[in-house]
Structure 1
Amino acid sequence: MRPGTNTGPGTRQTRIIVRHAPMNNNPANQTDQQKPLSVSRLIGLLRGTIEPSFKSLWITGELTNFSAATSGHWYFSLKDDSAQIRCAMFKGKNRFCRYRPKDGEQVMIRANASIYEARGDLQLIVDWMEPAGVGALQLAFLQLKEKLHKEGLFDAERKKSLPDRIHTIGIVTSPAGAAIHDIISVLKRRDPFKHVIIYPANVQGKDAATSLIQAIEIASARAEVDVLIITRGGGSLEDLWCFNDEQLARVIAACPIPTISAVGHEVDFTICDWVADLRLPTPSAAAEYVSNDVTIMRRQLDQLAQRLSDTIWHRLQSSMQQLDWLSARLPTPQHLLKQTLFRLQDLEWRLDKSVRDRLVDTSGRVANLRDRLSLMSPATKIKQYENLLAHLLHRTETSINASIHSANERLAQLVGHLQGVSPLATLARGYSITEVVDSNQLLRADTPLSPDTVLRTRLDKRVVLSKYLRDEEASHQ
């Protein structure tokens, strides 16, 4: 296989451009400009170039050297008249293969090119394999599936939920096929009360897709069913091919009624399965899904009836017990009369006691008011004021006498103190006081005197006048 050549349906043409370094014939200069590569580095570069460029390739050829390892992986080679290449299909992918391949078979694979670094071998990593005879149909199926998927027809957000209660079921299928008989049989056995409306359509052949589209459009226009089952029995890829029609897929996506696709067997997948609101593996599974098992419903109804009966019985017993309890509590007329009499007697005693207590309280208040009134009479007030006046006079007299006595004692103390510090007392002890007559100043040691200055000397009982003559030196003897 050469890069850039057609390798099968859906192959992308890839151009590989190799940019060469400028020619230099000097080996020494080449060594300086470009370092030699290690083998692992070279393999890594080749792998980084090949793997991104050769992805999702559709390739046909003869299968040879097939080997199934204990790990579950498949190893084989794919060849034609002039070349061959190693291939590996790992366990996670080959479990979707519908048949066991054998040596010598013509197959079509979808694979990515890779390099096995341990040996440096170019190989293909296969993610899909099928016999080459149905490859064109399968390729068309995958291409349409990818197209509708990109448009969002398979998105879960677009799909409608089935109603909780389904009363009428619409079925788009062939009236003579096995699918309708399986569905009717299951509904009769499980839920015979369901209403079924059949919209006849061809489910195989050239005009099958158009017939299916017309039946679905009729069901959508009439809007008389709660859910629409699009179904047929199993068959080959060619038999089921009408359910891979693009226009049919778009009509199912636009259908206002919730749709169920139940085409073929569990291993069969069609475009209708992907675009419908719900996919179920078989017609019988679809019938079971939209129906309720009568046996289970009867068992549930019996259980509910028994629970209802038990509940009613318990409520009745509880009500009867409550009635007996209320009857026991209901008093007789004699008992009511007796209770009334006791209550009247109690009220009479309480009234008598209240009156007596009120009289005693009133008598006490009257006596208290009488005493207060007597205290507030004029004679009493005058007597009180006379006593208060006498008491105040006595207190005043006593206070005045005490004040006079205290003042006399204080005066005597002051007189004694005054006499102690009086100059006259000093004179009585033999001392004298001399003063200048003209200035009435006491004669001190520093008083300036002039001759003939008149001096007055006071003694205890006499006053002597004298004149200043001179100063003499003081004697200290």
Structure 2
Amino acid sequence: MNSQNSNIYSVSRLNRAAKALLETGLGVVWLSGEISNLTIAVSGHWYFTLKDHSAQVKCAMFKGNNRRAGFTPKHGQQVLVRGKLSLYEARGDYQLIIESMQPEGDGLLQQQFDQLKCQLAAEGLFSEKHKKPLPQIIKCIGIITSSTGAALHDILSVLKRRDPRLQVVIYPSQVQGTGSAESVAAQIQLANARNECDLLIVGRGGGSLEDLWCFNEARVAHAIFNSTLPIISAVGHEIDVTISDFVADIRAATPSAAAELVSQNKAFVSTQLQTLVTRLKSAMSNNLQRTQHQHALLTEKLFKQDPKHKLQQQTLIADELNLRLQHAMNTLLNGKQQQVNRLHSSLLQHSPEKTINLELQKQSQLNARLKNAIMNKLQRSETDLQNGINQLNSVSPLATLARGYAIVKDEKGRVIIDASTLSNEALIDIHFAQGEVKARVII
């Protein structure tokens, strides 16, 4: 009977077990469906039903998650959601807890984007160790984009304004629609094969996620990764992010930003020219100074050959030797003085005076400790005496009388503990905490 009872579930236990199975069995799921019965609660949570042509499932999307959706869904709208299955124990209804929601068209592309991003990251295509720096001196720039797009016009305008000396090679490519990914990858491979540029700018102007999709293709990512030329990814606007941005050596927010990154403005070139002129003047000045220095050296050499100069040199040498002798004598005397000081210090260290002072200090410390021990002993004894007095008082009959009790004795002084032992008209003594009285028994 006990073994049977252990297999009997309560409703609450059954719902908890079912909830655990749902939450751990499937994990995160992606679901496409049509929204119906949408309710936006005062708390900000969304409650709705996702359905297709033959089935439906209840869903809940809490306030913290629906804020990130970027839109408010409508009844009948087709969406792509990501969430986890759960069960509402109070009613026994299973439901989907939504973590993210997107309109179905962009949502499918976003899902593919996330999957490819994770795959390429695992392959190491985004690793910083593979990033190539831009060359310090840039003479020629390759541009891979549409030959009729606004991106090419923006890049050329910036280059012409900031650094017209730069050479530009255009590799026209399809950047939208069927075959665009193959076109971009082929042009990257062509530019590397021709090897006529210092770096490449790969990109296009802004658009929807679907318009920019060729830059989210694996073949374009691998072409960028395998390029020996440094590549700047300049796709769309600043808010647009593509797979090519992660693989490229540098990401520019826009095509114009990429052009500004690789070009030098006229003011900078003028500054460089001024710097070169300054360096030339400095080199000429240094050359003149070296010539003057050589002339001075020859003049000095001629002066050194004069006998008067040699006599002066010998006098200087004699003075130097005298100074060295004085220095040696001072050093010797200082050494001896230091030795005397060390011996004196050693003598002071071995003096009995120090030992006597230490012993006196120890004796003083011991006296203080003895006094403290005696005082502590006296205090403990006094405390023990007081505790004994308190204990005696607690069991004293006087303490009992002080609480309102009395002691009754007969004429012979015996304590009466039983009233039946007293006779009528008997005399008794009653003792109180303060004084005593005589009384007569009336029965």
1:182-235 CA deviation, whole Å, 9 max, x = no partner? Answer: 111122222222221110112123232332233222111101112111111112
Offset of residue 238 of structure 1: 2.9
Does residue 219 in structure 1 map to residue 202 in structure 2? no
Offset of residue 306 of structure 1: 6.9
- Structure 2 match to 1:102: 73
- Structure 1 match to 2:182: 210
1:368-407 CA deviation, whole Å, 9 max, x = no partner? Answer: xxxxxxxxxxxxxxxxxxxxxxxxxxxxxxxxxxxxxxxx
Q: Residues 322 and 135 of structure 1: is their aligned pair in 2 closer, same or farther, counting only changes over 3 Å?
A: closer
Find 1:269's aligned residue among 237, 241, 255: 241
Find 2:4's aligned residue among 22, 30, 52: 30
Q: What one-letter code is carried by the residue in structure 2 that aligns with 1:87?
A: A
Q: Residues 288 and 343 of structure 1: is their aligned pair in 2 closer, same or farther, counting only changes over 3 Å?
A: closer
Does the CA-based 8 Å contact 1:76-1:87 persist in structure 2? yes
- Structure 2 match to 1:77: 48
Q: Within 5 Å, give how 1:414-433 maps onto structure 2.
A: none
Unaligned residue ranges in structure 1 (runs of 5+): 1-25, 345-477
Aligned mates of 2:312, 2:260 — CA distance in 1: 78
Find 2:59's aligned residue among 70, 86, 89: 86
The CA RMSD measured in Å over matched residues stands at: 4.6
- Structure 2 match to 1:378: none
Q: Residues 309 and 339 of structure 1: is their aligned pair in 2 closer, same or farther, counting only changes over 3 Å?
A: closer
With the length of structure 2 as denominator, give the TM-score of the two structures.
0.55
Does the CA-based 8 Å contact 2:174-2:183 persist in structure 1? yes
Matched length: 308
- Structure 2 match to 1:199: 171
1:271-310 CA deviation, whole Å, 9 max, x = no partner? Answer: 3333333332321122122223333454566578679979
Q: Within 5 Å, give how 1:129-168 maps onto structure 2.
A: 129-168=101-140
Q: Residues 338 and 171 of structure 1: is their aligned pair in 2 closer, same or farther, counting only changes over 3 Å?
A: closer
Offset of residue 43 of structure 1: 6.0
Q: What one-letter code is carried by the residue in structure 1 that aligns with 2:173?
A: A
Does residue 61 in structure 1 map to residue 34 in structure 2? yes
Q: Residues 307 and 220 of structure 1: is their aligned pair in 2 closer, same or farther, counting only changes over 3 Å?
A: closer
Does the CA-based 8 Å contact 1:173-1:180 persist in structure 2? yes
Offset of residue 102 of structure 1: 3.0
SS at match of 1:235: coil
Does the CA-based 8 Å contact 1:161-1:258 persist in structure 2? yes
Aligned mates of 2:180, 2:99 — CA distance in 1: 32
- Structure 2 match to 1:52: 24
Does the CA-based 8 Å contact 1:159-1:277 persist in structure 2? yes
Aligned mates of 1:147, 1:316 — CA distance in 2: 62
Q: Residues 195 and 114 of structure 1: is their aligned pair in 2 closer, same or farther, counting only changes over 3 Å?
A: farther
Q: What one-letter code is carried by the residue in structure 1 that aligns with 2:48?
A: S
With the length of structure 1 as denominator, give the TM-score of the two structures.
0.52
Aligned mates of 1:280, 1:45 — CA distance in 2: 52
Aligned mates of 1:56, 1:260 — CA distance in 2: 36
Does the CA-based 8 Å contact 1:65-1:103 persist in structure 2? no
Q: What one-letter code is carried by the residue in structure 1 that aligns with 2:22?
A: I
Offset of residue 179 of structure 1: 0.4
Offset of residue 171 of structure 1: 0.7
Q: Within 5 Å, give how 1:430-469 maps onto structure 2.
A: none
Aligned mates of 1:279, 1:109 — CA distance in 2: 30
Q: What one-letter code is carried by the residue in structure 1 that aligns with 2:218?
A: E
Structure number with higher helix proportion: 2
